[in-house]
Structure 1
Amino acid sequence: MSNNTECHDDHTLDKYLFPFVYSIVMMISIPINCISLYVSCIQVRKKNELGVYIFSLSLADLLYSLILPLWIDYAWHGDDWRLSASLCQISAFLMYMNFYTSTAFLACISLDRYLALVHPLKLQFLRTRRFSLIVTIIVWLLESIFNSVILVYKEVFNDPCNFTNHTLCYDKYPLERWQANMNLFRIFSGYLVPLIIILFCYHKIYQVVRYNQATVDEEKKKVRKLILNITVSFIVCFTPYHVVLLIRSIKEPSTSDPRLLLLMYKVYRITQALTSLNCIADPILYCFVSETARTDILNLLRCCLCLRKREEDQVKEHALYSSATKNTALITNRTSCETQSLKNS
Structure 2
Amino acid sequence: MAAVPTAFQVSPPPKFDFSKPEEWPKWIHCFERFRIASGLKVQSDENQVNTLIYTMGDEDVITSLNLTEEEASEYHTLKDNLEAHFVVRRNVIFERAKFNQRQQEAGETADGFIASLYALAEHCGYGALHSEMIRDRLVVGVRDKRLSEQLQMDAELTLQLWPATYYFMGNKWIFGEGFCKIIRFCFNLNLYSSIGFLTCISVYRYLAIVHPMRVMGRITVTHSVAISVVVWLLVSAQSFPDMFYPKTSANNTDRNRTEKCHHTTTTKYVEDYLKYSVGWTLTGFVIPFLILLGSYGHVTLVLCRINTIDKVVKQRSLKLMFILILLFSVCYIPFHIFKNLSLYSRVLIKHRMRPKWDKGVFCAHQISRGLVCLNSVLNPLVYLHVMDIPAQIRQMLQRSRQIFTRFFLSKYGNVPVAQSADV
TM-score (norm 2): 0.48
Secondary structure in 2 aligned to 1:109? helix
Matched ranges for 1:81-160 at <5 A: 81-123=173-215, 127-158=219-250
Contact in 2 for aligned 1:79/1:168 (Cα 8 Å): yes
* 2:312 pairs with 1:218: yes
Contact in 2 for aligned 1:184/1:249 (Cα 8 Å): no
What is aligned with 2:270?
A: 176
Query: Take 1:70 and 1:279, find their aligned partners in 2: how far apart are those partners?
Result: 25
Matched ranges for 1:158-237 at <5 A: 158=250, 166-171=258-263, 172=265, 174=267, 176-237=270-331
Query: Take 1:250 and 1:192, find their aligned partners in 2: how far apart are those partners?
Result: 19
Indicate which of 270, 279, 287 corresponds to 2:376: 279
Query: Take 2:231 and 2:253, find their aligned partners in 1: how far apart are those partners?
Result: 38
Letter in 2 for 1:230: L
Secondary structure in 2 aligned to 1:168? strand
What is aligned with 1:247?
A: 341
Letter in 1 for 2:259: T
What is aligned with 1:73?
A: 165
Secondary structure in 2 aligned to 1:275? helix
Contact in 1 for aligned 2:192/2:284 (Cα 8 Å): yes
Contact in 2 for aligned 1:81/1:166 (Cα 8 Å): yes
Q: 1:180 to 1:219 in 2, by over 3 A?
A: same
The alpha-carbon deviation at position 111 of structure 1 amounts to: 0.1
**Pairs aligned (count):** 231
Return the index of the structure with the highest Cα Rg.
2
The alpha-carbon deviation at position 79 of structure 1 amounts to: 2.3
Q: 1:123 to 1:206 in 2, by over 3 A?
A: same
The alpha-carbon deviation at position 270 of structure 1 amounts to: 2.1
Secondary structure in 2 aligned to 1:277? helix
Secondary structure in 1 aligned to 2:260? strand
Deviations 1:314-343 (A, max 9, x none): xxxxxxxxxxxxxxxxxxxxxxxxxxxxxx
Q: 1:155 to 1:123 in 2, by over 3 A?
A: same
Deviations 1:66-109 (A, max 9, x none): xx967743322222223333221111011001111111111100
What is aligned with 1:26?
A: none
More helix by share: 1
Secondary structure in 2 aligned to 1:276? helix
Contact in 1 for aligned 2:208/2:215 (Cα 8 Å): no
Query: Take 2:180 and 2:355, find their aligned partners in 1: how far apart are those partners?
Result: 26
Query: Take 2:326 and 2:161, find their aligned partners in 1: how far apart are those partners?
Result: 27
Letter in 1 for 2:376: C
In structure 1, list runs of 5 or more residues that go unmatched: 1-67, 307-345
Secondary structure in 2 aligned to 1:157? strand
Contact in 2 for aligned 1:125/1:131 (Cα 8 Å): no
Contact in 1 for aligned 2:172/2:258 (Cα 8 Å): yes
The alpha-carbon deviation at position 250 of structure 1 amounts to: 4.0
The alpha-carbon deviation at position 266 of structure 1 amounts to: 3.2
Q: 1:104 to 1:181 in 2, by over 3 A?
A: same
Deviations 1:254-296 (A, max 9, x none): 443456545433332221122111120233336886679x78x
Query: Take 1:158 and 1:242, find their aligned partners in 2: how far apart are those partners?
Result: 27
Contact in 2 for aligned 1:173/1:265 (Cα 8 Å): no
Q: 1:236 to 1:94 in 2, by over 3 A?
A: same
The alpha-carbon deviation at position 124 of structure 1 amounts to: 5.0
